[in-house]
Structure 1
Amino acid sequence: MILQCNHINKSFDGNTILDDISFHINEQEKTAIVGINGSGKSTLLKILMGEYEADSGEIIIQKDAVIGYLAQNQDIDSAKSILEEMQDAKKDVIALEQELNDTTELMNHAEGAELEKLIQKADNLRHRFELAGGYTYHSELIGVLKGLGFTEEEFSKPVSALSGGERTRVALGKMLLTSPDLIILDEPTNHLDMKAIHWLENYLSGYRGAVIIVAHDRYFLDKIVTKVVEIRQHKATVYQGNYSQFSEKKQAMLDTQMKQYMNQQAEIKHQEAVIAKLKSFNREKSIKRAESREKQLDKIERLEKPVEENTRMNLLFSPRIQSGNDVLSIEHLSKSFDTETLFTDISFDLKRGERVAIIGDNGSGKTTILKIINNLVDADGGTVRLGTNVDIGYYDQAHQVLHGEKTIFEELQDDYPTMTNTEIRNILAAFLFTEDDVFKQISKLSGGERGRVSLAKLMLSDANFLILDEPTNHLDIDSKEILERAVNHFEGTVLYVSHDRYFINRTATRILDLTQKQLVNYIGNYDYYLEKKEANELAQLTAPVIDTAGQPADTASDSKLTWQQQKEEQARLRKKQNALNKVEKEIAELEEKNESLGEQLSDPKNGTDIALLQKLASEKEANDERLLVLMEEWENLAEN
């Protein structure tokens, strides 16, 4: 057991945040802490890290355990470059490397006893260097940087010039390189694109230490964690399994508790009715029997009714009119900003009832496509045509459709002047804005609150074609699940951009992957997309869309890989695999040679043969340098 949390209590200004929280973390265990926004998850992490002091209770951490902690926002103020900042995590190994190089240099100018002493020192340093991962630290460092989305061109960029999200990524990478016994992460995926999140999933899944994660990314949690600690109504409940298993167990538990409560209530009402009937007979025996039953009823331990926390939105999208079958047609669309081309000659169609997700790297142009459809940005070329009776409702991730100077109440009142004050208040209450909350100024709201206002306006729009840009950003898990249900029950058409893979998996009927300035079409949800992408079954990526009549839709304008492109891609993959095999073979041969050289260097028989020792050491050093080059080459091949 690496960490134990016993009976933690915490209040702020008399308001209870955490009440009798207890759980433990075993070595190598991966645990998620979940709960609605404001439930105290980040507060708990800060108590674990000693940044806050609990009102009562204790935190027990294994002796000499090293803990790595990543808060939601990192304020790294450094004049160093990204690479130099990351190298700080390996400063002990780098210092060893420098000492080894200095010792090797001295050996070139030493003789006799002094040389023998230096050889022994160098051998000892090499051993320590190898144990510390010295021969692989550079590749590991570069791998972490690239995995978190930094390009080689950015390695020399000063940390002081980075955005807040980029600084958080640097802090995350630096912490991972220290290989702590326990990693504590607070919303680690907030500033990562899908590729970086996928990389981090694989890294943490195979990590030998323990991990505690607070995150709203349910797909991420599903892939990593084996235990979930839910904070609900200030209490903690521990569930074994990943997020999906937790969700099922939690619902089953709530259903059981509700059934037990309803059964008890039915029994209480039955007994009360019997008691009332006995009393109505107004006879001595019947009154005594009634009193006896009353005493028995008073002894019953009353179950509390399981209640949902007052944080569940009431969200239902209902189109005013139905659109035609052809909702959207985009042909040969292109867009560049300055000298940067986002996409060229992309085409796709949307049919009524489809729920289509656009995915891709940050900066690839996904949001720009949505803005072009909404006439907020002009395309450089191509056409956008809407079908018959199509009425668009747009959710903007930056919430620019909201007016900062208005109150929440005014935001709805001005857009829907026919609604009464009571109707507006009822709608806002459904989105968790009650009493004086409705008079908060938009500019003073949190990201999650702005998101709820935008969703309220979207629901009132009665649109039949919803265009959503990162709709789950800033929403807690409960709110995301409510949005999922609303999207899945919507009778119109939905086109959205999202990094939330769980949301995509639960809602999308089709995925458009914006990659290499083109769109690739996948018929299915996110799991299907991953399966086909990872299996390189390129021939199935562009299967025709089936319309509501069950006939293949016109896909002549769909962006897809031609037969020739598929053959070229397959040839590229074969060439890449051959190169990988060649590099792996050479790495294995060099490692085998180094093992033999190490044995010869350690052999007492060679202890007095200075010339031989120098030769062996030089050969091993040359092999080590070649290994570094090969490992970087392998890494580049594996990524591209």
Structure 2
Amino acid sequence: MSLLRAQRLSFSYSDASTILADVDLCLTPGWYGIVGPNGAGKTTLLRLFAGELTPEAGSLRLEPRGATVAVCPQAVEHADAAIHALADAEDGAARRLRGELLLDPAELGRWATLSPGERKRWQIGAALAAAPDLLLLDEPTNHIDADARALLAGALAGFQGIGACVSHDRELLDALTTGTIRVERAAARLYPGGYSAAKALWEAEARGREEAHQRLRAEERQLRRRLGDERRAQASADADRSTKRRMKGPRDSDARGLLADFRVSSAEARLSRNVSVTRRKLEKVSAEAGELELEKAVGRSVFVGYERSPAPWLFVLDAPRIHAGGEREGRPLLRDVRLSVGREDRIRIAGPNGAGKTTLVNALLAGARVPADKVLHVPQELGEAEQQALLARARRLPPEERGRVMSLVAALGVEPGPLLGSARPSPGEARKLMIALGLGQHAWALVLDEPTNHLDLPSIERLERALADYPGALLLVTHDRAFGRSCTSILWTVAEGEVRVSSDDAGA
């Protein structure tokens, strides 16, 4: 049986603080999700597992000796030798894999035109065909549609070795994994179960720590009050003894004086002991409270500014034909499209890659019946120049408005100070900043095209809560069904040149 064991494993890059410290893990055959905030060390842990990085301290061992490893990075640029081998193989296992993943060897002749989902199926199929002892995946469902996700999940479920998968796809993690490695604050801890079950466990632990912290702080306050009372009593006893000594007359007998001194000394000793005991208890309780690691408050809630549109309909589209890229000639991408978006409609747009989802969104925006500054449109990708412009815009805001926007940025899980001081935001930071800037406009409608791209799971869940609370019109293009269903009630399915409208409680 294969075994991957990490003992006291630590790693840091030369120009950064410690990424992982004293990690202990033992993985046996089965699938494990690797989750955590961006920058926490998920991909670093995956690269350590792959042998691409060397631990700074501790050990990492894959058994048995000579065990094989296959790695599937996010991007699939070229058809490598393993992919060609799968295409050429005629044995039963290869044929079965090609059938399961709907892989046609003729596709390799037009590799440059294959979609991300088609390339990803070839990449993972080739890795499975090699039957490695350890299979490592980095965001396997990024940018791929629901059909491709279902094919990949089915094929991966049959893998017999140790599998580790960095992903923000909750549906995949819950369906595939039986263990979850949470990477955060230089730690990596294994929880039983898929993502949802594991999350329930660490949230319960966090609540327990918070409750224990509150109890300890309450006890600490009580002990401080007691210590103050005891010190005042001690000071009062000292003052009383001094007064009695000054007032002692010549007729006071030595015996009575000695007895009084003994009683006072005993009381003072008792008070002194009480002070010492209480002080030690206070020091112990304060230390215990300080040692409890509490969840950071950043990102707990998002207040979404909203202003109700005076117009009942924000977007109306009546188009016999819609061409890709706004063209007016050639074969239309969509036909007979008659759609409208009310001021409180919440719509998810789903469908295969290339079906025309983004084209539909652009057509709706072109026919908007509301001012452009009342619509927040976040496109699927932001170029480097757009990211720089967003940061410059945030820096130029008046202090009060900047504070409001930065509070939204913080609620989405980004520290405002480092962001404003950075040379260039990451793709995920830029996306959150754009959303925060738009929400500051009190938008009548949010139009978001794959808003979870480049976001980690905690950020996705924060955005999910914010959109669920937003009362205005929401138009959401996403392959993430769990995310979409939590925020919308209407489903537009784009497929085969048509747009079908239904309730968002099933399917796509």
- Common fold by TM > 0.5: yes
Q: Counterparts of 2:444 and 2:384 in 1: how far apart (Å)? A: 19
Q: How far is 1:54 from its partner?
A: 0.2
* 2:113 is the alignment partner of 1:138: no
When structure 1 is superposed on structure 2, of 458-467 and 331-340 the one drifting more is: 331-340
1:171 and 1:311, CA in 2 relative to 1: closer, same or farther beyond 3 A? farther
Selected match of 2:69 from 64, 67, 70:
67
1:207 and 1:430, CA in 2 relative to 1: closer, same or farther beyond 3 A? closer
Q: How far is 1:171 from its partner?
A: 2.8
Count of residues paired in the alignment: 465
Residue of structure 2 equivalent to 1:173: 125
Residue of structure 2 equivalent to 1:515: 495
1:425 and 1:518, CA in 2 relative to 1: closer, same or farther beyond 3 A? closer
Equivalent residues in 2 for 1:175-574, closer than 5 Å = 175-282=127-234, 283=237, 284=268, 285-300=270-285, 302-303=288-289, 304-309=291-296, 312=299, 315-332=302-319, 334-337=321-324, 339-375=330-366, 384=367, 386=369, 391-399=374-382, 403=386, 406=389, 408=391, 410-412=392-394, 432-435=414-417, 437-440=419-422, 444-525=424-505, 528-529=506-507
1:385 and 1:289, CA in 2 relative to 1: closer, same or farther beyond 3 A? closer
Q: Counterparts of 2:331 and 2:292 in 1: how far apart (Å)? A: 58
1:263 and 1:328, CA in 2 relative to 1: closer, same or farther beyond 3 A? same
Instruction: Determine if contact 2:303/2:408 at 8 Å carries over to the other structure.
Output: no
Selected match of 2:110 from 144, 157, 170:
157
Please report the TM-score for the alignment, with normalisation by the length of structure 2: 0.82
Q: Counterparts of 2:479 and 2:417 in 1: how far apart (Å)? A: 34
Instruction: Determine if contact 2:387/2:430 at 8 Å carries over to the other structure.
Output: no
Q: Counterparts of 2:431 and 2:373 in 1: how far apart (Å)? A: 24
Please report the TM-score for the alignment, with normalisation by the length of structure 1: 0.66
Instruction: Determine if contact 1:407/1:440 at 8 Å carries over to the other structure.
Output: no
Residue of structure 1 equivalent to 2:265: none
**Higher RCO (CA 8 Å, separation ≥ 6 residues):** 2
Q: How far is 1:396 from its partner?
A: 1.5
Q: Counterparts of 2:233 and 2:398 in 1: how far apart (Å)? A: 61
Instruction: Determine if contact 1:32/1:213 at 8 Å carries over to the other structure.
Output: yes
1:167 and 1:363, CA in 2 relative to 1: closer, same or farther beyond 3 A? closer
Instruction: Determine if contact 2:230/2:271 at 8 Å carries over to the other structure.
Output: yes
Counterpart residue type for residue 51 of structure 2: G
Q: Counterparts of 2:317 and 2:106 in 1: how far apart (Å)? A: 35
Q: Counterparts of 1:456 and 1:366 in 2: how far apart (Å)? A: 24
Query: 5+ residue gaps in structure 2?
Result: 238-267
Q: How far is 1:20 from its partner?
A: 1.1
1:546-567 deviation digits (Å, cap 9, x = unpaired): xxxxxxxxxxxxxxxxxxxxxx
Q: What SS class does the counterpart of residue 432 from structure 2 fall into?
A: helix
Q: How far is 1:187 from its partner?
A: 1.0
Counterpart residue type for residue 144 of structure 1: L
1:299 and 1:440, CA in 2 relative to 1: closer, same or farther beyond 3 A? closer
Q: How far is 1:439 from its partner?
A: 4.8
Residue of structure 1 equivalent to 2:246: none
1:75 and 1:287, CA in 2 relative to 1: closer, same or farther beyond 3 A? same
Q: How far is 1:62 from its partner?
A: 2.0
Q: Counterparts of 1:158 and 1:271 in 2: how far apart (Å)? A: 72
Residue of structure 1 equivalent to 2:253: none
1:522 and 1:246, CA in 2 relative to 1: closer, same or farther beyond 3 A? farther
Q: Counterparts of 1:47 and 1:242 in 2: how far apart (Å)? A: 22
Q: What SS class does the counterpart of residue 341 from structure 1 fall into?
A: coil
Q: Counterparts of 1:248 and 1:215 in 2: how far apart (Å)? A: 18
Residue of structure 2 equivalent to 1:18: 20
Q: How far is 1:73 from its partner?
A: 3.1
Q: What SS class does the counterpart of residue 264 from structure 1 fall into?
A: helix
Q: RMSD in angstroms over aligned alpha carbons?
A: 3.1
Residue of structure 2 equivalent to 1:55: 56
Equivalent residues in 2 for 1:600-611, closer than 5 Å = none
Residue of structure 2 equivalent to 1:547: none
Q: Counterparts of 1:494 and 1:404 in 2: how far apart (Å)? A: 23
Counterpart residue type for residue 38 of structure 1: G
Q: How far is 1:398 from its partner?
A: 2.1
Q: How far is 1:191 from its partner?
A: 4.1
Residue of structure 2 equivalent to 1:582: none
* 2:6 is the alignment partner of 1:5: yes
Instruction: Determine if contact 1:471/1:498 at 8 Å carries over to the other structure.
Output: yes
Query: 5+ residue gaps in structure 1?
Result: 79-83, 95-133, 376-383, 531-640
* 2:85 is the alignment partner of 1:88: yes
